Amino acid sequence: MTFSRRQILLAGSGALAAAAAPSAVLSVLSPIPARAAAPLRDLTITRRTLEVGGRAASVFGIVDGAGASGLTFGPEDRFAVRLTNRAGEAASLHWHGQIPPPDQDGVPGLNGVTPLADAATAPYEYALQPGTHWMHSHFGLQEQQLMAAPLVVRTADDLRADVQEVTVLLHDFTFRDPQEILSGLMKGMDHGAMSHGSPSAPSQSSAPMAGMDHAAMGHGAMPGMGQSGMSMPGMDHGGGAGPDLNDVEYDAYLANDRTLDDPQVVTVERGQRVRLRIINGATSTAFWIETGAVSAEVVAVDGTPVQPLPGSRFPLAGGQRLDLLLTIPKAGSGVVPVLARREGSNHRTGVILAPKGAKIARLAGQDGPAAPPLDLVLESRLKALTPLPAAAAATRLSLRLTGSMMPYVWSLDDRSWGQHAPLALKAGQRVELTFDNVSGMSHPMHLHGHHFQVIALDGKALAGAVRDTVLVPPGRRVTVAFTAGQPGDWPLHCHNLLHMAAGMMTVVTVTA
């Protein structure tokens, strides 16, 4: 049995520390650097009941000491947090977009991190990265059940600005057990194997395959699957041929826990400037963010400022964040729906900005034709406000994004997690890393512990956005540059939870 350093610290001289082998505890405890004491803010992982479409669901939540979702910090703050787990099971949180010491990164099995036991408490402390970030479970499939919340760090400029801030956390919601969804997708693998002639495999041709949509069938990779007699609940017939877009058909798409049947209405004033901090906390859904008739400008992506670009429709892949500035119109109703439209489907969710007393028309949760797949048009136009310092790359690496729906296996350079080849770097080493997507699906690639700059799309150079998660559509190559940071094992993975669970992860191992 092992304990993380923080758990041991918290246990102090209590039973937990006493139960562990004293020598091991001492050897773990000894290298702790002295840290300036900052007042700890409370954060609690909870179990709660959420009503979705009139039906109750048991989901997780992450709330601060006042019961609000997530944490908001000011410019002078450090991340000084006392996390208590009331999930009813072990859990582990990752601070997405932050750069903590590796042992606080929240990925069990790496950097000495172990899950936080139910009812246990652990302290965290590190310097904050400003901007719109978030926190989510990096343990099992808990993220699918809303173990996710905003982590916003406001700058001095933010505090000075006469701007109303609205934070929106998007999610793809299912009443089903996420494990069942994953095994449903995996069963497709069994089925695929059978169709290649495995004599002993039982017939599954009438078995419901929870969570699979049309995309799984459209590629001729499943010769054993007929077009008739199949029972596939949750199939989405709204899409068409083309790349695989969505693995799973969800029951609802949420914006701050609500659907468009009963959306959050944020009171604003006519003429008021609004900063939207939009977080795609969905586990396997990419959205187009739409501000309709009102033009907005993107001012930051993944919490990092970009040169402002106007528009009314912006792509937001899983794990990414988008900061938009807009002005509530003085004329007319002043009502501004901010919608998130799922790619490859006509489902949508969102929040409504509205002046007091304004009449708000009901918006349907499904509307119009299917939204197109996310692309790199905006990415090609984004420019970091503060680019990475100019430096020659000491190393150029490339990673093919590999895998398939049938069988449901996802990998990097054809290696799934467990067979992965770590990318070995020295701290301070400048690296250029090219993601080459040779698979049939888009993958939002996330690197822990670092921010990288997008420096080329399909080999065409640009001084793009600084991010921590970049979308790589099928057939595309995206090159990012970064400087290897703190020594540790930093996960590099697809932010589609199911792809990650099916193997699409490796580590960047930084040594001193």
Q: Which of residues 439-498 bind Cu ion (CB under 5 A)?
A: 443, 494, 496
Identify the CA nearest to 155 among candidates 134, 120, 129, 175.
129
What is the closest distance, in whole angstroms, from the C-beta atom of residue 410 to Cu ion in the complex? Answer: 6
Tell me which H or E stretch contains 305. Answer: strand 304-311
**Using rule CB under 5 A, residue 92 touches Cu ion:** no
Judge if the upstream peptide bond of residue 407 is cis by omega within 30 degrees of 0: yes
* Strand positions, DSSP E, 239-286: 252-255, 265-268, 273-280
What is the closest distance, in whole angstroms, from the C-beta atom of residue 242 to Cu ion in the complex? Answer: 17
| Cβ distance to Cu ion smaller for residue 263 or 403 | 403
Buried b (16+ CB within 10 A) or exposed e, 17-49: beebeeeebeebeeeeeeeeeeeebebbbbeee
Residue with tokens 């993380």: 4
Binding mask 366-405 for Cu ion (x = CB under 5 A): ----------------------------------------
Q: With CB under 5 A, what is the number of residues at the site for Cu ion?
A: 4
What is the closest distance, in whole angstroms, from the C-beta atom of residue 372 to Cu ion in the complex? Answer: 18
What is the closest distance, in whole angstroms, from the C-beta atom of residue 317 to Cu ion in the complex? Answer: 10
**Beta carbons within 10 angstroms of residue 222's beta carbon:** 17
Contacts of 40 (CB under 8 A, 6+ apart): 80, 81, 82, 123, 125
| Cβ distance to Cu ion smaller for residue 274 or 494 | 494
Tell me which H or E stretch contains 47. Answer: strand 41-52
| Cβ distance to Cu ion smaller for residue 104 or 496 | 496
Identify the CA nearest to 171 among candidates 89, 97, 69, 267.
69
Stretch that binds Cu ion, among 206-214, 256-264, 350-358, 499-507 (CB under 5 A): 499-507
Contacts of 250 (CB under 8 A, 6+ apart): 172, 173, 174, 285, 347
| Cβ distance to Cu ion smaller for residue 10 or 182 | 182
What is the closest distance, in whole angstroms, from the C-beta atom of residue 438 to Cu ion in the complex? Answer: 13
**Using rule CB under 5 A, residue 499 touches Cu ion:** yes
What is the closest distance, in whole angstroms, from the C-beta atom of residue 430 to Cu ion in the complex? Answer: 26
| Cβ distance to Cu ion smaller for residue 167 or 469 | 469
| Cβ distance to Cu ion smaller for residue 319 or 449 | 319
What is the closest distance, in whole angstroms, from the C-beta atom of residue 299 to Cu ion in the complex? Answer: 27
| Cβ distance to Cu ion smaller for residue 277 or 443 | 443
Using DSSP bridges, classify how beta strands 469-472 and 443-447 pair: parallel, antiparallel or unpaired: antiparallel
Provide the sign of the torsion angle of the four alpha carbons 383, 385, 386, 389, taken in this order. positive
| Cβ distance to Cu ion smaller for residue 252 or 502 | 502
What is the closest distance, in whole angstroms, from the C-beta atom of residue 498 to Cu ion in the complex? Answer: 8
Q: Which of residues 14-53 bind Cu ion (CB under 5 A)?
A: none
Distance CA 64, CA 44 (A): 6
| Cβ distance to Cu ion smaller for residue 378 or 494 | 494
Tell me which H or E stretch contains 173. Answer: strand 163-173
The CA-based angle 64-70-76, given to 5 degrees, is 85
| Cβ distance to Cu ion smaller for residue 321 or 493 | 493
What is the closest distance, in whole angstroms, from the C-beta atom of residue 401 to Cu ion in the complex? Answer: 7
Identify the CA nearest to 96 among candidates 467, 380, 415, 344.
467
What is the closest distance, in whole angstroms, from the C-beta atom of residue 281 to Cu ion in the complex? Answer: 16
Q: Is there a contact between 467 and 129 (Cβ–Cβ < 8 Å)? A: no
Binding mask 141-170 for Cu ion (x = CB under 5 A): ------------------------------
Distance CA 238, CA 246 (A): 11
Q: Which of residues 421-450 bind Cu ion (CB under 5 A)?
A: 443
Q: Is there a contact between 289 and 260 (Cβ–Cβ < 8 Å)? A: no
Q: Which residues bind Cu ion (CB under 5 A)?
A: 443, 494, 496, 499
